[in-house]
């Protein structure tokens, strides 16, 4: 089907250049872009349904080594480096 579109001049020039580099037509490039957008829209509609993220929780015993500052990245990194292993 033929149709008329109003496209920003810069966007059109960039699209034509991309089509030429990919050795494809501008029509094909636009069709592919529309297909990608439509797929993304249709998949995002169903994405919110029954999608549950499970966050792992450590249920072990123990904790931090006495005296270790858990708010200090440097202290945590040093503690990791000091572990035998």
Tens digits of residue pLDDT in 36-73: 999 887 776 665 566 777 777 777 777 777 788 889 89
Residue linked to tokens 């994405």: 47
What beta strand segments (E) does the chain contain? none
pTM of the model: 0.49
DSSP 8-state class, residue 61:
S
Residue linked to tokens 């904790």: 63
Which residues, at least 6 apart from 48, have a Cβ–Cβ distance to it below 8 Å?
none
Query: 3-state DSSP helix/strand/coil percent for the chain, to nearest 5?
Result: 55, 0, 45
Tens digits of residue pLDDT in 6-15: 999 999 999 9
DSSP 8-state class, residue 83:
S
DSSP helix/strand/coil, 37: helix
Residue linked to tokens 């069709």: 31
């Amino acid at each position: 089907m033929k149709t008329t579109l109003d496209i920003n001049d810069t966007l059109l020039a960039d699209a034509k250049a991309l089509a030429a580099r990919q050795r494809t037509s501008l029509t094909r490039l636009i069709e592919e872009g529309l297909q990608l957008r439509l797929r993304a829209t249709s998949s995002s509609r169903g994405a919110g349904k029954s999608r549950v993220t499970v966050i792992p929780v450590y249920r072990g015993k123990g904790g931090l080594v006495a005296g270790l500052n858990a708010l200090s990245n440097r202290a945590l990194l040093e503690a990791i480096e000091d572990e035998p292993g």
